[in-house]
């Protein structure tokens, strides 16, 4: 087979609520995740030597078993019981690394979907999502993507209709020097808020139901104005990271921004706009301040799907 191209998009969190602690030590979450059209490209070729070889245009990324692409490939081979399967994979990296945009998880999901196709394994999307959940909490979402409620560790998915009302878009900021450890952010949240964590499935389910019926999903359907966005990890990261405070203040100055928040455990930040033109105008009007503060910035529309094979 010739080369296969798989598109691997980033996500943002339109809602991230830490409900409580789980028996497995992870946090029980209630999230709304949204795929955005900021894409890495993964190119795959089969090989006959049983090896998984990864290369990347960004030399700072690991290309060994520390990369979720390699771990996904090895897991797929092991599950299929076919150690002779091999592939060359090349990643063109555009999603900022370590940003809370699930770039690594999306790449792992792209490897699962792409190699399943390349090797003719025939696993269903649901079977791939179960494998994805073994590798990372955000990975199952990245396969189907679009707009989804994500519960549990992030792997219990409820797909939502695509946002209505034209072309929602984001302006994204990431300071190249800023980085946040996800385990650190969850540990901090636990230290600060454990006393008020909910306990038990009934209490968790009540909050899930509030989110299902709440103003955010109605607003995404064009039925009412967007409420302020909630990210419980922002409350722990914002006081600790000066660039996060600075970036949020800059985004809040954007006239046409409908809402502003941190994504995931950060440090990337985003503002939502009614269309791409409005996002681009804000990027242009903030350009000198963003440059002075050292931020990288991107604009892109929301995207109605996750990983995709190039036709």
Contacts to ligand C5P by CB under 6 A: 26-27, 29, 136-138, 153-154, 182-183, 186
Instruction: Name the 3-class secondary structure at 173.
Output: strand
CB of 130 to ligand C5P, least distance (A): 14
Residue identified by tokens 């009412």 is 224
Instruction: Name the 3-class secondary structure at 26.
Output: coil
CB of 184 to ligand C5P, least distance (A): 8
C-alpha to C-alpha distance for 19 and 169, rounded to whole angstroms: 28
Instruction: Name the 3-class secondary structure at 121.
Output: coil
CB of 50 to ligand C5P, least distance (A): 27
Nearer to ligand C5P, 232 or 283 (CB): 232
Angle (CA) 180-31-196 rounded to 5° is: 80
Residue ranges with strand state E in the chain: 4-21, 27-47, 52-56, 86-92, 147-152, 156-159, 169-174, 230-231, 259-262, 269-273, 296-301, 308-309
Nearer to ligand C5P, 76 or 135 (CB): 135
Nearer to ligand C5P, 26 or 209 (CB): 26
As beta bridge partners, residue 54 has: 89
Nearer to ligand C5P, 17 or 238 (CB): 17
Nearer to ligand C5P, 188 or 283 (CB): 188
- Nearby residues of 233 by Cβ (< 8 Å), 6 or more positions away: 16, 18, 185, 186, 189, 262, 264, 265, 266
What strands lie across the sheet with 269-273, from one edge to the other? Answer: 259-262, 269-273, 169-174, 296-301
CB of 204 to ligand C5P, least distance (A): 12
Decide: 282 and 257 in contact? Cβ < 8 Å.
Answer: yes
Decide: 135 and 68 in contact? Cβ < 8 Å.
Answer: yes
C-alpha to C-alpha distance for 171 and 176, rounded to whole angstroms: 16
CB of 263 to ligand C5P, least distance (A): 14
Catalytic residue among 11, 77, 93, 174: 11
Decide: 38 and 172 in contact? Cβ < 8 Å.
Answer: yes
Catalytic residue among 77, 138, 174, 232: 138
Active site residue 289: no
Nearer to ligand C5P, 114 or 136 (CB): 136
Whose CA is closest to 29, among 198, 229, 213, 272? Answer: 198
Token readout for 67 is 């990369």
CB of 238 to ligand C5P, least distance (A): 18
- Report, as residue numbers or ranges, the catalytic residues: 11, 138
């Amino acid at each position: 087979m010739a080369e296969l191209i798989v598109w691997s998009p980033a996500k943002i969190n339109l809602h991230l609520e830490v409900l409580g602690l789980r028996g497995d030590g992870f946090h029980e979450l209630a999230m709304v995740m949204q795929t955005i059209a900021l894409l890495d490209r993964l190119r795959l070729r089969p090989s006959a030597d049983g090896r998984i070889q990864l290369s990347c245009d960004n030399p700072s990324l690991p290309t060994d078993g520390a990369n979720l692409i390699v771990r996904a490939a090895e897991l797929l081979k092991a599950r299929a019981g076919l150690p002779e399967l091999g592939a060359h994979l090349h990643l063109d990296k555009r999603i900022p690394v370590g940003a809370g945009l699930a770039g690594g998880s999306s790449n792992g999901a792209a490897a699962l979907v792409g190699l399943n196709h390349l090797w003719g394994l025939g696993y269903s999307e649901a079977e791939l999502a179960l494998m994805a959940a073994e590798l990372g909490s955000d990975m199952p979402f990245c396969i189907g993507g679009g707009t989804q409620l994500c519960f549990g560790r992030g792997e219990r998915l409820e797909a939502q209709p695509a946002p209505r009302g034209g072309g929602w878009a984001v302006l994204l900021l990431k300071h190249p020097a800023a980085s946040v450890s996800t385990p650190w952010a969850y540990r901090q949240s636990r230290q600060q808020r454990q006393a008020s964590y909910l306990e038990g499935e009934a209490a968790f389910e009540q909050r899930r139901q509030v989110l299902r019926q709440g103003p955010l999903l109605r607003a995404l359907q064009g039925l009412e104005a967007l409420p302020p966005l909630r990210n419980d990890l922002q409350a722990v990261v914002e006081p600790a990271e000066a660039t996060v405070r600075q970036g949020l203040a800059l985004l809040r100055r954007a006239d046409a921004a409908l809402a502003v928040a941190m994504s995931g455990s950060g440090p990337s930040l985003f503002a939502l706009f009614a269309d791409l033109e409005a996002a681009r105008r804000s990027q242009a009007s903030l350009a000198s301040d963003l440059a002075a503060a050292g931020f990288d910035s991107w604009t892109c529309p929301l995207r109605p799907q996750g990983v995709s094979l190039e036709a």
